[in-house]
Structures are given as C-alpha cells and as structure tokens.
C-alpha cells in the first residue's frame, strides 16, 4: 500500500472516530440537558429554601442586634419604658401582658399554646407563656395591635417602634338611627309605670345586627324580673339588665303580649346579653359615638308631662321639643337614637343657651311628638347623666351553660374601703364541660382586673393556688363578659371556682353584690350561692355567711361533646 492509500485510510479512520466522538458528545449533551431539566425544579426549590433560611437568619440576627443595642417605643408620641420588652426572632415587638393592660388599657386572656382573646377578638398565636403570671406572659404587639385599635410601625434605621391610636371616624353634626336601620313602631305604655322596660327592650332592639328586626316582650321583662314590684310602679335599667344578664329574656312580644295581665315563665331567651356599658358622666360626644357604633342609648330625664295629651312650659308640641332646666330627679326613661347639633334653640318653649338636641324615642305611642319621637336639648338637666347601652348581644348558642347566683344583679357593693378586692364564686359542673367565659360588673369607670380559676376546688384553702387566665381594663362601668381560650376542663360533678381581683379607681367597695336590701329586692335568694371575698387573695371570708349577700360573678361553659362534634 502506497503512502497515498495509507493516508486516505488514516483520514477515513480519523473521520469515523471523529464521528463517533461527536455522537458521544451529542449523547452526553442530551443526557446532561435532560438531567438539568429533570432536576431543575428541585434545584430551584432548594435555592428557595436556602434563600428563606438565609433571610430568616438575617432577620433573627437583626433582632438580636436590636435587642442588644436597644430600641425605643412610643405610644401616641410618648416614650414608654421598654425594660421588659424585646423583639422576637421574627422582629415582632413582644411586651408583657401587664404592660399591655397598663399602657394601652387592653383586655387579654391567654390559653396554653399562645392562643388568646385580645379585646374579645380571638388570635391564635399572639402570646408566649413562660409562667402564668401577667408579667411573664409576652404579647406579640405586631399581631395584637389592630385588635387594640392601634397602628404599629417600625423604623429600622432609628431602631424605633411606635404604637398610635387609630383615628376614629369624625362624628357628624346630624344623625338619625331611623335612617340607617328599621326600627319597630313606638308603642304605648298606657297607665303602667313600665317606661324602664319599654326603653330597655327598645334599646336592645336597636343593637340587633344586620337587617334583623325583632319585637321584644315588655310584659315578660316586667313580670319575670324577680323584683318585688307591680306594673303600676316604676323601675330602672339595673332591673332590666339583671333580667337580661341572667338569660331569662328577652322573649318575643308575640309570645307574651303587653297588658294582658298574664305571662309565661317557661319561655326561654331568644338572645343572650353579654355586655352593657354605663355612661354615667354627661359626655355628649361619648353618647353620640356609642349610638353611631352600636345603637340606641337608654337614658333618664325628668318629664313635667305624663302622657301625649298633657302640657307644660317645658314641652313644645308644635316642634316636638322638650327642655327642662330645673332640679327634679329623673322620673322617665327614653332611648336616644340620634342628634342634631344645629337644632335651633328657638324650637323650645323656653330657649336654652345654645342650639343642639338629642332625638329620643318615647313610649307614649305614635300620637306623641313626631310619631313617638321628640327632641331634647343638650342642656336638659338630666338626659345623659345616667345612661346604658347594650354593646354585646349574642345568639343563644354562644355557650351551653350559665352558672350564677345573682338573679337580681347588682343591688349593692362590697369592699374594704380600698379600690381593690378579691372575690370568687364556687360552682358544681353539671356535665363534662370547658370553662369558656366569666362575667362580672365594673361598678364605676376605670376598672382593671385579673382573672383566675380553680378547676379542681377542694375547699377554701385551694383558693390560694388559682390558675391565672388574663388581665384587662374597662373604661366604663357596666356588665362585662370575658372570654377565655379553651384550656380549663371540668368534669361532671366536680367543683370549680372562678376568681377576680378587681381595682376600681375612686371606689371603696368595688365588688357588685346581690342581697335583700329592701322590699324591692326581698326575693334575693342567698341559698343558691357559695362566694368568698378577700382583701389580699390569701385570707377568704364567706359572702353569704359573713356579709349576707351573693356575688355578681357568673361562669359560662360549653359541653365537651358539642365542642368536639
């Protein structure tokens, strides 16, 4: 074979080898690309996980740095003491529960796993429980701020946190509740002294949610109140509140009509009242805000006329306007459902100094005033001085059981001539239940409280070791229900205690009690309760034996079977 042929053969072999090499690399490229495509989602996922982990690391490191170097916290522009506060690993502001109450007037109850109620709103993971003590439970303010009506901000550069009250809606100069929701026609109390019950049921009807309209029975309230009073005699909103808070009512008017002299004591409530606030000071702006937020405000005034056809110098029938400037005490209850800041002073028979009046619903039928409504001057001697508004009306499935011994509600007060006192009621569980709420009265404005329970009560000595549930603040006096995250299990037949440490500013007797104070409350039954009061939470005395009273402290439960169905 000559050199040329050898060269051609070598070239042919080289090309064949090169072809195989190209095929090999092509196949390898296909395999690699396929591998990349198949593994790409995993690579991206792993990269995402790594990124999240890295970000979490940096956030945690930043929180450590902030806690080490310090930060500031302001509330409405005022700097607060942050000694016991810190940032969580996620850069959320954590403050002690006691500070949440002290600085922001919050009400907080806490469960075992971080769940809590903040201002009655359930939050699943907003608390960190080290020990069940108010200063050892940390609240996540980043999560809880909206429930407290606060806006939280963090300035990373300045290492400054701020909490500011969310701006409330500006009150309009004119408002008429009849223009925003359907109200029942105004009824006539006739010759009976039942204005208190008409006002209470009408006020309750105005706070119904949505488009719901119900007509509540006045007869059932007056004839099943438990107070020793006839229909011709007068009453007050405390009597109505006791009837409603004990779940004896309200019932529907169609099931117990007014004025027939009969009642059906077997009827059950169609709603459950759980909260009512007292507006004792003459705070016109607060009354307006409550009407705008909730509904009608029940209040008292002195009426110098007795019916739709009566007359006096205080009432101008042509303009349905009333203004009393004397010193007589209130003798009539109405419902405030609106206002007009520009209502002319000239509309009154004798003019007040300024314009402005409340729109009120009466109980003298549609023949009186403007279809049963009339205007009362802002300067009236009595209207707005003592008022109540029903701020929480639940459906009847809110709880399964109610434990109580104060069917006549708040009759008097008890204490140690100090703003603070402890009180506790003991009950026997009727089924396998979960303690879900506790209710009690704040006898005046600016009340703080701590809530405890003894799930296995074995005698007065066991009151010394209660379980802490939460703390809070009530701006207004009133009747309040405090919800509790699910944590306290009760066995049928076991005894349990609920306990409150209460502090009411400027009060020497902060505990509301029921007792036979007069003929009116002679029906108070002291045999149905087991209550104890204490000066310091260590030494206790029997309310029934030592003081002849029942404590106004109720407990609410749900059955375990219904809870886990």
Strand partners for 478: 277, 442
Query: Which positions ≥6 away from 371 have C-beta within 8 Å?
Result: 185, 186
How far is residue 314's CA from residue 201's CA, in Å, rounded to a whole number? 27
Strand partners for 86: 94
- What the block records as the tokens of 550 is 């029942």
Residue 393 C-beta-side C-alpha neighbours within 13 Å: 23
Handedness of CA 189, 193, 194, 199 (dihedral sign): positive
CB 254 within 8 A of CB 264: no
Question: In tens digits, what is the pLDDT along the chain, a chain of 565 residues?
Answer: 433 344 334 444 544 444 454 554 454 444 554 444 444 444 344 455 555 565 666 778 899 999 999 999 999 999 999 999 999 999 999 999 999 999 999 999 999 889 999 999 999 999 998 889 899 999 999 999 999 999 999 999 999 999 999 877 789 999 999 999 999 999 999 999 999 999 999 999 999 988 899 999 999 999 999 999 887 788 899 999 999 999 999 999 999 999 888 999 999 999 999 999 999 788 999 999 999 999 999 999 999 999 999 999 999 999 999 999 999 999 999 999 999 999 999 999 999 999 999 999 999 999 999 999 999 999 999 999 999 999 999 999 999 999 999 999 999 999 999 999 999 999 999 999 999 999 999 999 999 999 999 999 999 999 999 999 999 999 999 999 999 998 899 999 999 999 999 999 999 999 999 999 999 999 999 998 999 999 999 999 999 999 999 999 999 999 998 766 5
Q: For residue 468, count other CB atoms closer than 10 A to its CB.
A: 20
Q: Is 144 exposed, middle or buried (0-12, 13-18, 19+ CB in 10 A)?
A: buried
Strand partners for 134: none
Q: Is 352 exposed, middle or buried (0-12, 13-18, 19+ CB in 10 A)?
A: middle
How far is residue 343's CA from residue 321's CA, in Å, rounded to a whole number? 10
How far is residue 196's CA from residue 333's CA, in Å, rounded to a whole number? 5
Distances in Å between the Cα of 413 and the Cα atoms of 44, 369, 551 are 69, 40, 9
The conformation of residue 10, written as its DSSP 8-state character, comes to H
CB 554 within 8 A of CB 406: yes
User: What pTM does this model have?
Assistant: 0.89
């Amino acid at each position: 074979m000559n050199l040329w042929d050898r060269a051609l053969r070598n070239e042919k072999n080289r090309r064949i080898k090169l072809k195989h090499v190209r095929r090999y690399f092509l196949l390898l490229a296909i395999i690699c690309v396929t591998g990349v495509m198949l593994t790409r989602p995993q690579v991206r996922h792993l990269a995402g996980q790594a990124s999240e982990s890295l970000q979490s690391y940096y956030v945690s490191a930043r929180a450590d740095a902030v806690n080490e170097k310090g930060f500031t916290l302001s509330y409405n522009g005022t700097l607060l003491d942050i000694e016991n506060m810190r940032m969580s690993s996620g850069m959320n502001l954590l403050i002690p529960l006691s500070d949440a109450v002290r600085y922001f007037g919050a009400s907080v109850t806490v469960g075992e796993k971080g769940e809590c109620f903040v201002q009655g709103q359930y939050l699943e993971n907003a608390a960190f429980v080290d020990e069940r003590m108010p200063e050892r439970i940390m609240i996540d303010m980043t999560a809880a701020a909206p429930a407290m009506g606060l806006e939280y901000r963090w300035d990373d550069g300045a290492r400054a946190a701020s909490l500011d009250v969310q701006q409330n809606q500006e009150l309009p100069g004119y408002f008429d509740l009849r223009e925003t929701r359907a109200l029942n026609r105004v009824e006539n109390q006739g010759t009976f002294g039942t204005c208190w019950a008409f006002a209470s049921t009408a006020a309750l009807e105005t706070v119904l949610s949505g488009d719901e309209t119900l007509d509540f029975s006045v007869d059932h309230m007056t004839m099943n109140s438990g107070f020793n009073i006839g229909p011709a005699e007068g009453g007050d909103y405390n009597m109505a509140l006791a009837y409603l808070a004990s779940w004896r009512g309200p019932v529907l008017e169609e099931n117990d009509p007014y004025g027939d002299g009969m009642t059906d004591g077997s009827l059950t409530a169609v709603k459950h009242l759980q909260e009512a606030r007292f507006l004792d000071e003459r705070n016109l702006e607060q009354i307006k805000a409550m009407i705008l937020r909730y509904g009608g405000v029940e209040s008292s005034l002195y009426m110098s006329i007795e019916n739709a056809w009566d007359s006096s110098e205080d009432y101008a029938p042509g303009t349905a306007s009333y203004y009393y400037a004397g010193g007589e005490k209130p003798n009539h209850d109405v419902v405030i459902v609106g206002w007009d800041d520009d209502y002319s002073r000239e509309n009154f028979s004798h003019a007040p100094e300024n314009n402005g009046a409340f729109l009120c619903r009466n109980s003298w039928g549609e023949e009186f005033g403007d279809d049963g409504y009339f205007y009362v001057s802002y300067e009236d001697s009595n209207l707005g001085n003592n008022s109540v508004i029903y701020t929480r009306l639940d459906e009847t499935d809110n709880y399964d059981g109610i434990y109580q011994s104060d069917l006549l509600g708040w009759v008097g007060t008890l204490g140690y001539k100090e703003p603070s006192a402890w009180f506790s009621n003991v009950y026997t569980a009727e089924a396998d239940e979960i303690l879900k709420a506790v209710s009690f009265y704040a006898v005046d404005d600016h009340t703080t409280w701590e809530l405890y329970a003894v799930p296995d009560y074995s005698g007065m000595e066991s009151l010394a070791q209660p379980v802490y549930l939460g703390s809070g603040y009530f701006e207004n006096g009133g009747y309040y229900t405090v919800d509790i995250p699910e944590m306290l299990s009760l066995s049928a037949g076991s005894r349990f205690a609920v306990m409150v440490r209460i502090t009411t500013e400027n009060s020497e007797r902060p505990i509301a009690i029921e007792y036979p104070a007069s003929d009116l409350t002679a029906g108070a039954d002291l045999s149905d309760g087991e209550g104890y009061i204490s000066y310091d939470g260590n030494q206790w005395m029997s309310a029934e034996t030592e003081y002849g009273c029942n404590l106004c402290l109720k407990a609410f439960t749900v059955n375990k079977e219904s809870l886990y169905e």
